[in-house]
Amino acid sequence: MSLKGFHVFFISVCLIFSVGLGIWALRAYRSTGQADSLYLGVGAFFCGAVLAVYGVWFLRKLRHLSFV
Amino acid sequence: MSAAVAIPHDMEPHPVTGMYNGKFGLWLFLASEVMLFGALFSSYVLLRMGAPEGTWPKHGAEILNVPLATFNTVVLITSSVTMVMAWAALKMNNIARGQLFLTVTFLLAGAFLVVKYFEYSEKFNHFEVWLKEPMVVDGNSVSSIRGHLAKDCPPLTKETHIRAFAIPEFILLDPDAPAGSKEHPPTLRIDGGNIRRISDFGPAHSTFLATYFTLTGLHGLHIIGGMVVILYFMLTGSRFAQKRPDKYADRIECTGLYWHFVDLVWIFLFPVLYLL
């Protein structure tokens, strides 16, 4: 696997974990009511969205490079 | 009597593996790294499952700093992006841009270590005191108190043979604010006669923190290793890239694969240690 393939895998894992962190933080906010958890949750979902957009952009930009 | 000997499959793919030898070697190395970190993750799971009740925090956020770790996660993800951009620029023969992205990756790695340093220092200045007889703090009876030593508290000494803190005559402790509050209870004077054990939040504090320092410390060493390689290419890369641009791009690809692996380890460490 080339760096391109590994990078796509890495960004996909990060995207899944960002959504996971967002869910964890919002659940923490619901149980404790702490504003920090709310900010963390919203931030995590935002990062997830940024990663998704970046992933698509990356695949388009480096179309000519091999996955192998 | 010197003759140039061409190393086979130095740059072109080997017919068996489908990749050049350097990349194949790097993947074999990463396989050994997976086993190393896999063994440590398995140890973590076994220690956590077997921990007696009350000896393991419900989740790491009780002790560890989640916002700092989140910031560090973003820093590492960004460094992976700049690493892959460096490789892509070199593939397009844009050496200056490749070197620039490599430098940014190095700086981001440095930022990660600086934040980690502050996180570690905080642990070594934060204490827990286990009491023989419970005390009332903020209206609650407690058998252990967490906090920072007050300014006028006499310094603590360590018993060298067991590397644990000696029980002092007394300590002055500024207790942590209760969960959900930012107001700290007033400074406490705790007599040595009532102290069963005192520890900072270093590896000796608990199995959880020993595991935390082992995993994050080993990960930190991998970051330093990656920084040494990146620094080497930052310093020697321009000359190398002008002579053999394709080979240089391949070397940066191998460095990038290692760097992505190190970042991926952190992506797993973060939720396991800080959130769960």
CB distance B203 to B210 below 8 Å: yes
User: Which of A34-48, B5-19, B118-132 bottoms out in mean pLDDT, i.e. has the lowest?
Assistant: B5-19
Q: Percent of chain B at pLDDT above 90?
A: 68
CB distance B163 to B144 below 8 Å: no
The residues near B213 (Cβ < 8 Å, ≥ 6 apart) are: B202, B203
Q: Residue B3's pLDDT band (boundaries 50, 70, 90)?
A: low
- pLDDT at residue B9, rounded to an integer: 82
- Using N-to-C axis directions, what is the helix angle for A35-61 and A3-32, rounded to 10°? 160
More confident residue, B45 or B237: B45
Check CB contact of B253 with chain A, cutoff 8 Å: yes
* E strands present in A1-68: none
Residue B42 structure tokens: 């398995």
B227-248: per-residue pLDDT in tens? 999 999 999 988 888 888 889 9
Does residue B54 carry a pLDDT above 90? no
Conformational region of residue B18, where left means phi above 0, alpha means psi within -120 to 50, and beta covers everything else: left
Residues β-bridged to residue B174? B148
Answer whether CATH 1.20.120.80 is correct for domain B21-53+62-122+207-275.
yes
Mean pLDDT of B83-88: 96
Nearest to A3 among B84, B270, B275 (CB): B84
Q: Residue B222's pLDDT band (boundaries 50, 70, 90)?
A: very high
Mean pLDDT of B193-206: 92
* Interchain pair A6, B19: CB under 8 A: no
Instruction: Give the separation between CA A10 and CA B101, rounded to whole angstroms.
Output: 18
Mean pLDDT of B192-200: 92
Check CB contact of A33 with chain B, cutoff 8 Å: yes
Does residue A23 carry a pLDDT above 60? yes
Phi, psi (rounded to 5 degrees) for B202: -85, -170
- pLDDT at residue A4, rounded to an integer: 93
What's the helix, strand, coil split of chain B in %, to 5? 60, 15, 25
- pLDDT at residue B72, rounded to an integer: 96
- pLDDT at residue B13, rounded to an integer: 86
User: Which of A58-67, B114-123, B215-224 bottoms out in mean pLDDT, i.e. has the lowest?
Assistant: A58-67
Is residue B160 classed exposed, middle or buried when 0-12, 13-18 and 19+ CB atoms within 10 A define those classes? Answer: exposed
Amino acid in position A21:
L
- pLDDT at residue B164, rounded to an integer: 82
What is the maximum alpha-carbon separation in chain A? Answer: 49
- pLDDT at residue B2, rounded to an integer: 56
Distances (CA, A) of B99 to A4, A64, B77, B102: 18, 21, 19, 5
Instruction: Give the separation between CA A1 and CA B24, rounded to whole angstroms.
Output: 9
Check CB contact of A13 with chain B, cutoff 8 Å: yes
Is residue B58 classed exposed, middle or buried when 0-12, 13-18 and 19+ CB atoms within 10 A define those classes? Answer: exposed
Dihedral in degrees, nearest 10, Cα atoms B63, B67, B71, B74: 100
Does residue B100 carry a pLDDT above 90? yes
Q: Residue B183's pLDDT band (boundaries 50, 70, 90)?
A: confident
A chain contacts of residue B264, beta-carbon cutoff 8 Å: 10, 13
- pLDDT at residue B276, rounded to an integer: 84
Q: Residue B193's pLDDT band (boundaries 50, 70, 90)?
A: very high
Q: Residue B220's pLDDT band (boundaries 50, 70, 90)?
A: very high
Q: Residue A46's pLDDT band (boundaries 50, 70, 90)?
A: very high
B chain contacts of residue A40, beta-carbon cutoff 8 Å: 66-67, 70
Instruction: Give the separation between CA B190 and CA B129, rounded to whole angstroms.
Output: 9
A chain contacts of residue B70, beta-carbon cutoff 8 Å: 21, 40, 43-44
The residues near B207 (Cβ < 8 Å, ≥ 6 apart) are: B47, B51, B55, B56
User: Which of A29-33, B127-131, B233-237, B253-257 bottoms out in mean pLDDT, i.e. has the lowest?
Assistant: A29-33
Domain positions in chain B are 21-53+62-122+207-275, 127-200
Does residue B59 carry a pLDDT above 90? no
Check CB contact of A34 with chain B, cutoff 8 Å: yes
- pLDDT at residue B105, rounded to an integer: 98
Instruction: Give the separation between CA B113 and CA B117, rounded to whole angstroms.
Output: 6
Does residue B1 carry a pLDDT above 70? no
Nearest to B253 among A2, A34, A43 (CB): A2
If one counts every other C-beta atom within 10 angstroms of the C-beta of residue B93, the result is 12
Mean pLDDT of B136-150: 88
The angle formed by the CA atoms of residues B142, B144 and B147, to the nearest 5 degrees, is 110
Mean pLDDT of B140-157: 89
Mean pLDDT of B220-233: 97
Cα atoms in the Cβ-side hemisphere of radius 13 Å centred on B26: 21
Residue B208 structure tokens: 């959880």
